[in-house]
Amino acid sequence: MTDTTVDILSCTVLGSGETLRFDGARALVAGYTGRDEAAVRHHIDELAAIGVAPPEDVPMLYPVATATVTTAASTPVPSADTSGEVEPVLLRHRGRYFLGVGSDHTDRALETVDIGESKRACAKPIGPNVVEVGDWDTFDWDSCRARSWVDGRLYQDGTLAALRTPGNLLGVVAERIGDDGGDLVCFAGTLPLLDGRFTPGKRWDLELLLPDGRTLTHTYTTTEGA
């Protein structure tokens, strides 16, 4: 397996320049987080098309090592059969909440055998900048727009109204695996693919446009077998 270990994750808070260091945080990738049952079924069907078994629970929570969450501009992948997806990322640092943008980069071949291991096989890219969210209940989550491009081609485009709200998802986390209030990095799910097909690629561009006009972005490239 490719070594995906990186330095301790650190992010910068837009507006204040504050640096957050996530040493020892719990890291999770949430799957099947669509608010609409038909959209969730669509995503399950996308996975079934490549031989992935249906989930045991909806949503699903997959733990990953915090050390694999990285802001690096280049990341190693175990093979050519990998792909990313734009995701809002919920972060908690010393009791405060933040929003970032990231990619649940996944080994698609391994995904047909073990979904959890397929996610842990690849680093989890995240943008270096985050915004603080004082109250998820008043934050206009549904108006946020997420997009991704693979090798310059638009791959995903939609609003977060398609996904479970942060309050709902964090409640699921607390109910399923407990919550001690410690630092947390949670990839909160993704949007349907525009053409319905997973596409391997070398360059991934991620964008999360916020209701106040600010934009969170990240670009990374992959290096096979590095």
Q: 101 - beta bridge partners?
A: 88
Q: Residue 221 in contact with residue 123, Cβ under 8 Å?
A: no
pLDDT digits (tens, 9 = 90+) for 87-146: 999 999 999 999 999 999 999 888 888 888 889 889 999 999 999 999 999 999 999 999
**pTM for the complete prediction?**
0.91
193 touches 155 (CB < 8 A): yes
- Indicate the CATH number for domain 9-224: 3.90.850.10
Dump pLDDT digits (tens) for 191-220.
989 998 889 999 999 999 999 999 999 999
Q: What angle do CA 101, 60, 139 make, to 5 degrees?
A: 40
What is the number of alpha carbons within 13 Å of residue 133 lying toward its C-beta?
Answer: 22
Pick from 97, 103, 139, 61: which is nearest to 218 by CA? Answer: 103
Strand order of the β-sheet with 129-133 is: 19-22, 9-13, 129-133, 96-103, 86-93, 184-187, 26-31, 60-64
